[in-house]
């Protein structure tokens, strides 16, 4: 586990967690299932790295994983961390099942220490479901921490996870990120507009962008969302400051956060069932009131012709949003 002032791009897929087929050798080391990984996981990692990608793996801070069929890492963290490093693993998602009722604040730091001495930088993702508010203590333990319970592919689940995650916005910073769980985009349970809201909120919240759909069968609409470079750039901005919900009135919300180069990221969100005009006021989003601003629409991929002073208003469809970068006019 290594801290870095530079945020890594986190477009991971759940397909890269191969430990679901693991068992243990007589020495206690994890062994990949031969029929699934005939060449071993080291060979898989080498192949993935040759493509310019990184490989993640799944384990558990318990005696067994959540399936109760595979071994967890509790009690042999040092050996497992060394094994992951030898295999060439880049990312560890560390779950919280079958943990013997030992507090996560006791269990997770043991793997932190093991990863730090494993000989390879491995991104450490704490997945204890927000149980003991890991945003309050996770920065010295891991690189990201789940702030919520598991997400599902429904509007109500997605938007509630965004709400729960936003509470801890002030605690996210380079080297340690709030994680409201993976992206459901492409799984079919929400509309395209709702998935755009999903990606916009995760991006402006500086959350890890974990692809949760089958990347082998990605639709054009899904690819348009998860491959939006302008929105990803907001997520990756070097300031690493998580946006906050700065205004709420009924079903509409204004989310905003500072970016580098004196810019501001802005999301106007309509959570309701009717079209609504939503206004962002400069004094709510951290821009001096008399400042002239140019707005870049990140989903339309166009810079608006109007120069805005004091506020910006847009009409938003139900369960939809607009996302902008606001830049002062010199």
Enzyme catalytic residues: 95, 150
Structure tokens that stand for 219 in this block = 């639709």
Q: Which residues contact 7 (CB under 8 A, 6 or more apart)?
A: 174, 177, 206, 236, 238, 240
φ, ψ of residue 169 in degrees (nearest 5)? -55, -40
Q: Which residues contact 131 (CB under 8 A, 6 or more apart)?
A: 96, 104
Q: Which residues contact 149 (CB under 8 A, 6 or more apart)?
A: 129, 130, 181
Spatial CA neighbour of 41 closest among 63, 56, 61: 56
Rounded to whole angstroms, the Cα distance separating 31 from 18 reads 11
Rounded to whole angstroms, the Cα distance separating 12 from 79 reads 25
Q: Which residues contact 257 (CB under 8 A, 6 or more apart)?
A: 169, 204, 206, 241, 242, 243, 244, 264, 265
């Amino acid at each position: 586990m290594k801290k870095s002032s530079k945020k890594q791009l986190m477009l991971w897929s759940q397909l890269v967690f191969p430990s679901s087929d693991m068992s243990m050798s007589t020495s206690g080391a994890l062994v990949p299932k031969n029929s699934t990984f005939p060449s071993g996981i080291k060979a898989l990692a080498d192949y993935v790295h040759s493509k310019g990608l990184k490989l993640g793996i799944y384990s558990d801070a318990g005696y067994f994983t959540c399936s109760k069929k595979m071994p967890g890492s509790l009690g042999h963290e040092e050996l497992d961390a060394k094994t992951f490093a030898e295999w060439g693993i880049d990312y560890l998602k560390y779950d919280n099942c079958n943990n013997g009722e030992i507090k996560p604040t006791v269990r997770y730091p043991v793997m932190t220490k093991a990863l730090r001495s494993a000989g390879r930088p491995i991104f450490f993702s704490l997945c204890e479901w927000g149980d003991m508010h890991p945003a309050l203590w996770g920065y010295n333990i891991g690189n990201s921490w789940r702030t919520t319970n598991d997400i599902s592919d429904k509007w109500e689940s997605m938007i509630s996870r965004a709400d729960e995650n936003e509470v801890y916005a002030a605690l996210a910073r380079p080297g340690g990120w709030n994680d409201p769980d993976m992206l459901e985009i492409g799984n079919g349970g929400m509309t395209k507009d709702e998935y755009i809201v999903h990606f916009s909120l995760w991006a402006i919240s500086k959350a890890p962008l974990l692809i949760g759909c089958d990347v082998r069968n990605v639709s054009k609409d899904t690819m348009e969302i998860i491959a939006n470079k302008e929105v990803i750039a907001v997520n990756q901005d070097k300031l690493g400051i998580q946006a906050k919900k700065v205004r709420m009135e009924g079903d509409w919300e204004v989310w905003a956060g500072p970016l580098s180069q004196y810019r501001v990221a802005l999301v106007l969100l309509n959570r309701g069932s009717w079209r609504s005009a939503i206004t962002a006021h400069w004094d709510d989003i951290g821009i001096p009131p008399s400042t002239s601003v140019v707005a870049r629409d990140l989903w339309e991929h166009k810079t608006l012709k109007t120069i805005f002073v004091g506020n910006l208003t847009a009409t938003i469809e139900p369960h939809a949003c607009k996302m902008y970068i606001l830049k002062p006019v010199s």
